[in-house]
């Protein structure tokens, strides 16, 4: 129950930050006096170190899609989704108006949106596989939490 509340809180916070920071991020993308914008080539993980909890959540989500066989059309759509998400994450990573926690929350939010879009690209059978993996991971997390906190 507490985990669901935490997930909802993070999602709402990330959404609000996107709304609030959107205009500020647009200003970051403008180059002064017609100068060229520097391209961001470094991976986001190297630019903004995420806390271990954020990394663990992202890795768990990524593992849910591991081992699936994609069609060429799915590969192209997923590549476009990754590219769009990476550009959004890069803007957040380079934003001067956000602190580290805000950047982490927004990057996690963009990651969740990215995987939601990828999920929509999957076939119904692939979606079933991913749902089973997610359910297994959730049950394992709950069991680990019960072992860590036996009195709750």
Task: Spell out the domain ranges in the chain.
Answer: 2-32+51-148
Side-chain-facing half-sphere of 150: CA atoms under 13 Å: 1
28 near 103, Cβ under 8 Å?
no
Place of tokens 């069609």: 71
108 near 88, Cβ under 8 Å?
no
Residue 89: pLDDT band with limits 50, 70, 90: very high
140 near 112, Cβ under 8 Å?
no
98 near 149, Cβ under 8 Å?
no
The string of pLDDT tens digits covering residues 45-67 is 434 444 555 555 556 566 788 88
The string of pLDDT tens digits covering residues 95-118 is 999 898 999 999 999 999 999 999
DSSP string, 15-34: HHHHHHHHHHHHHHHPPGGG
pLDDT of residue 9: 63
Side-chain-facing half-sphere of 16: CA atoms under 13 Å: 7
**Which helix (H) or strand (E) segment is 56 a member of?**
helix 52-64
Place of tokens 């200003």: 27
The string of pLDDT tens digits covering residues 15-38 is 645 545 554 444 444 444 444 444
């Amino acid at each position: 129950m507490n985990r669901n509340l935490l997930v909802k809180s993070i999602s709402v916070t990330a959404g609000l930050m996107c709304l609030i920071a959107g205009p500020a991020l647009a200003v970051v993308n403008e180059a002064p006096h017609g100068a060229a914008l520097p391209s961001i080539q470094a991976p986001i993980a190297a630019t903004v170190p995420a806390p271990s909890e954020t990394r663990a959540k992202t890795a768990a989500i990524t593992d849910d899609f591991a081992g699936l066989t994609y069609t060429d059309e799915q590969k192209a759509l997923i590549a476009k989704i990754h590219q769009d998400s990476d550009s959004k994450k890069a803007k957040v990573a380079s934003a001067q108006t956000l602190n580290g926690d805000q950047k982490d929350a927004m990057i996690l939010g963009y990651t969740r949106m990215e995987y939601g879009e990828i999920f929509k690209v999957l076939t119904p059978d692939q979606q079933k596989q991913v749902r089973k993996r997610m359910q297994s991971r959730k049950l394992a997390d709950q069991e680990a939490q019960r072992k860590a906190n036996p009195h709750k």
